[in-house]
Amino acid sequence: MRAQPLDAETIVSATEEVLRRHGPEKATVLDVARVLGVSHGSVYRHFPSKTALREAVIRRWLDRVSEDLTAAAQDSGLAPPDRLRRLLTGMFAAKWTKAREDPELFATFRVLAREHSSVSSAHVAFLLDRIRTVVADGMASGDFAAGDAEGIARAVLDATSRFHNPMHAAEWRPPEVEAEAEAVLSLVLDGIRAR
């Protein structure tokens, strides 16, 4: 049995290990408890369900990604069109890298997105907020045409979904995906620029 106290962060790290080993469908709370050397009841004291464990793992990853995306959206050294391009390409790259280099955890992210979990919904809301902020800044600077920043942000997110929505992960493998993403970004940015 475990000699050290059990905390949520330790459980999340163990869950991440179990998810990498077994994948999101086969990993169980009992597997996590075994890795930690505790009863499954000890894990349940911190997390009420397998879904809550998966959400905690993905939330931790998305929090790291969010820091980089926030920095891109707020880079005052760049004009709004360049900030929006940097934000979106950073978003694409983070997901493409995770899908390629950490497929089991990315599969967990896909499960949560498919289930419309609170973590997945919060991530989409975060992305919309960052895009909206840059679009509003671009409207204020005259780089983007005047309009409804919220609606335009939603349209930008939807127009680029093939490159960031986890349900499209199989389409990210071909080497031409970067050129395709760049073509869509150029079209989107041209569509919202001031005339």
pLDDT at 1 over 60: no
Return the ∠ at Cα 73 (arms to 172 and 177), rounded to 5°: 15
d(CA 135, CA 67): 19
Residues 113, 165: contact at Cβ < 8 Å? yes
Of 45, 52, 53, which is closest to residue 6 (Cα–Cα)? Answer: 45
Q: What pLDDT does 77 receive?
A: 93
What's the pTM? 0.90
pLDDT in tens, 92-146: 999 999 999 999 999 999 999 998 899 999 999 999 999 999 999 999 999 999 9
Helix (H, G, I), strand (E, B) or coil at 193: strand
Q: What pLDDT does 2 receive?
A: 58
Looking at the domain covering 57-192, what would its CATH class be? mainly alpha
Helix (H, G, I), strand (E, B) or coil at 144: strand
Q: Where in the chain is the domain with CATH 1.10.10.60?
A: 1-48
Q: What pLDDT does 76 receive?
A: 87
Q: Where in the chain is the domain with CATH 1.10.357.10?
A: 57-192
Look up the CATH number of domain 1-48. 1.10.10.60
Single-letter residue type at 137: D
